[in-house]
Chain A
Amino acid sequence: MNAKANITRASLAAGLLFAVAPGVRAQQNGVQHANNFTTTEYYEPPHQQQIKSILSGAEALPQPGGLLIIKQLKLEMFNLDGKLEWVVNAPECVYDTFKGVANSPGHLQVRTGDGKFRVEGEGFLWRQSDSFLTISNNVRTVIENGAIMNTKP
């Protein structure tokens, strides 16, 4: 399968994960298996020139019931200044295109753009509507060389 040819359709589908505006819905029947896709979401006007997120994945597999399996997910989220705020990686997850939630029993990694704050765990639920993430098990946060509140006067 030609991956490039499927990017548009994959974008419609995979882009729904975390990134695409609620008004956009995947047409499950029109989405085929796709490889190595990338989709970009922009902020709404007046910041429509600013990238809000970039989603990429190794595979997008449509499933019955409006579900979409995405493998090797990588999501990058940017602020309005173009600064990379969050990076999310998951080997695999299932996105419910109707409910706007993604979940997986598997591993999840989240880190800030500078990499100094990292969270990982097993099993997660992502709610797209309010960018709310729940990690169910074995949550581990690592902070590198963080600012110490050394309060010496």
Chain B
Amino acid sequence: MKCYSLIVIAVLGSLMVHAQTNTPDTLSTPRGLTQIIAESGDFDLAGHEATYRATYRGHVRVDDPQMKLTCEQLVADLPQPGGHPSHIVAETNVVIDLTNEKGQTNHATSDKAVYLYNVQNGVTNETVTLTGNAKVERAQGWLIGEPIIIYCATRQIHANNPHMISKQNLNGATADTNAAAAGTNDLSAPKKNDE
């Protein structure tokens, strides 16, 4: 699974901003329009510490060609032109539906999703962290963890206390396993309880 979650969340921020990022590993791809709809919104246009902040509340919906996101509140720190969104938080009943380039859909749900971006010593770190009843549904089954962290650079999903439920197994004797899906190179379970 590619790191579409991160892409999507990052897109949220980057698209919400008028800026185009100059990050080397970022490709600007024509994608049409991204739309964010909410009942209300607050916009701090003063640009505190080189950052604007947009807060959407109430039935927030993000429609993008590659993903759909809904939540009750979305807060995005938007950079100055040319910058990169560094911090985006989606809260309450977060639902992310991602479609990859193969048309496959991944369905992620959580109470909270946090996107973080920073560059340290020339290394770009981008993560999306799902917490609170975090779950990612894929074709094979569901990954449950607390938290579930999506690393974009490696295209991996890491889950603490991972719990994998196979859809196939739902019809069989074993409904779940306690390990991440085997045979995949993009899903890993680096930690278990208190490791």
- A interface residue numbers (CB < 8 A to B): 77, 83, 85-86, 110, 112-114, 116-117, 119, 121, 130-153
Contacts and interface: CB of A to CB of B under 8 A. Distances in A.
8 contacts: A141-B35, A142-B34, A145-B30, A147-B20, A148-B31, A149-B7, A150-B26, A151-B7
A132 B42 contact: yes
B3 interface: yes
Contact of A148 (B3, B26, B81): B26
B130 interface: no
Contacts of A117: 15-18
B102 to A, nearest CB: 14
Nearest to A77: B45
Contacts of B122: none
Given A113-B18, A132-B46, A148 B29 contact: yes
A70 B31 CA distance: 38
Contacts of A119: 41, 43
A24 B153 CA distance: 52
Given A119-B43, A146-B15, A139 B33 contact: no
Chain B residues touching A, range: 35 or more
Given A77-B45, A134-B41, A148 B35 contact: no
Given A134-B42, A137-B39, A147 B19 contact: yes
Contacts of B43: 110, 119, 132-135
Interface in B18-67: 18-21, 25-47, 54, 56, 66
A147 to B, nearest CB: 4
Given A114-B18, A142-B33, A148-B14, A131 B45 contact: yes
10 closest cross-chain pairs (CB), A and B = A146-B15, A149-B10, A112-B18, A143-B15, A131-B46, A141-B36, A139-B41, A150-B27, A151-B152, A117-B18
Given A130-B44, A147-B28, A149-B21, 17 more contacts: A117-B15, A131-B44, A132-B42, A135-B41, A137-B40, A139-B37, A142-B35, A143-B16, A145-B28, A145-B32, A146-B14, A146-B17, A147-B21, A148-B29, A148-B66, A151-B7, A151-B152
A149 B14 contact: yes
A151 B153 CA distance: 6
Contacts of A147: 11, 14-15, 19-21, 26, 28
Contacts of B18: 112-114, 116-117
B6 interface: yes
B91 interface: no
B36 A146 contact: no
B155 interface: yes
Contacts of A116: 18
Nearest to B7: A149
Contacts of A121: 40-41
Contacts of B97: none
A29 to B, nearest CB: 32
